[in-house]
Amino acid sequence: FKPKYVEQAAAAVKAQYSGADVKIDLQKVGDDDFYTKLLLALDSGTGPDVFHVGGSSIGELADASYIEPLDDYVSQWADWSQYPDAVKSGVTYKGSVWAIPYGLDVRWLYYRKDDLQKAGLAADWQPANVQGILDAANAVKAANEPNVLPYALYAGPAGSSGTADHAFVPLLWAFGGELQDKDGKWIGDSPATRKVMAYYQKAYDGLSPKEILTSTKPWTAMREKLGNGQLALLFEGGWVYGGWASADKAATEQNVGYVLHPTESGGPSFTIGGPGTCWYVSSRSANKQGAWEFVKAMNTAEIVGKLNAEDPHPVARADAAEVAEFKTNKYLVDSTAALAKAKFTAPDPGYSKVIEAIQKATARVAAGELSPDDAAKRYSDDLAQALGADKVTSL
């Protein structure tokens, strides 16, 4: 995040509206501290007119009536047509648009070209289907290269939200499942859930390291290992590539490949999108139109393109990809194109409890405590206990 663009947007609003006064309050605090302070301020009515937090908070903030629905504003904003439908869905909750995203999250199935080539696979490898990931991992294992892990699949509480968004959820979608049914009930035991658990069982049978279950922030080590060639396969966030490239751009471009996630019956097909950090308008703002004018000024094609070129993320609005600083980066262009194949998890406040149930279920299978079918059944039980039996269903 770059404060200079906030100042640029504020100056634009002041220039457009004589007498407009835009006060900027930049706070150097941790994410959790800031969010706690923000909630207290919003609850007391002393919060800012416009604020900037993660899109995963949309459901919680909307249910608490802290944020203003933006439907009337975006319907009169011509630029809204530049946002792909998948992106719009990521900031829609209970039928309304609640936030404006600018730099999005996508995920890739990363692979080390050098490790796969040593295992007899092509440098431009693409999995034929989900099983193809495990097949490639088994090939790497059989090649017996020293200090090279075949595959990392996040599981358990140690994997944090990555256990859901970088592992369970893409697999669930790959096997044709969904997190929720059309009525909004969370789906527990299902044919797709059981297939995911069976996949975990195979992955943790000598392919994915069990240290993921017990180490602190296992993603740190797994990302580092893929970056230096000690891990062959990892489904991870798009933002990780920038770290590898900043350390050694040439080696990263030469050795790190990335493809969309495959399905049960097809090759690279989809990615998991995330709205990233978004702009919100307070429902208790005394000047909502002025707040909206700032949001618009902050989200021009120029600012969105330049901001995401400096802090590498795919752009939320399509025309921002044409900004010169952005379009020269092939990886960012590829990531933005991937948004056309993105699926977004719903910004439902209950999702945090679902993640906890996912962590428990995957840990039980990865550790060998339960069979895939039994773990899927326990997953249903955990969902019902956390969310209420009336909000959970099985298929």
Single-letter code of the amino acid located at 309: A
Q: Which residues of the chain are under the pLDDT cut of 70?
A: 1-32
Note the pLDDT of residue 153.
98
Sign of CA pseudo-dihedral 245, 250, 255, 256: positive
Q: Choose among 3, 79, 55, 10: nearest CA to 310.
A: 3
Per-residue pLDDT, 286: 87
What DSSP line would sit under 314-371, residue for residue?
Answer: -BSSGGGGGSHHHHT-HHHHHHHHHGGGEEE----TTHHHHHHHHHHHHHHHHTTSS-
Q: What is the pLDDT of residue 28?
A: 60
Tens digits of per-residue pLDDT, 80-103?
999 989 899 999 999 999 999 999
What is the per-residue pLDDT for 325?
A: 86
Task: Report the CATH superfamily, name and number, of domain 3-104+274-344.
Answer: Periplasmic binding protein-like II (3.40.190.10)
Q: What is the pLDDT at residue 261?
A: 98
DSSP 180: B
Predicted local confidence at residue 297, as pLDDT: 86
What is the structure's pLDDT at 25?
62
| Displacement of CA 135 from its chain's centroid (Å) | 26
What is the reported pLDDT for 242?
Answer: 86
**Among residues 203, 229, 223, which one has the least CA distance to residue 136?**
203
SS3 helix, strand, coil % of the chain, rounded to 5? 55, 15, 35
CATH code reported for the domain at 107-272+350-393: 3.40.190.10
**Per-residue pLDDT at 183:** 92
First-to-last alpha carbon distance for the chain, in angstroms, is 43
Domain ranges of the chain: 3-104+274-344, 107-272+350-393
Is it true that 3-104+274-344 and 107-272+350-393 share their CATH fold?
A: yes
- What pLDDT sits at residue 52? 86
CA 134 to chain centre: 23
pLDDT of residue 287: 87
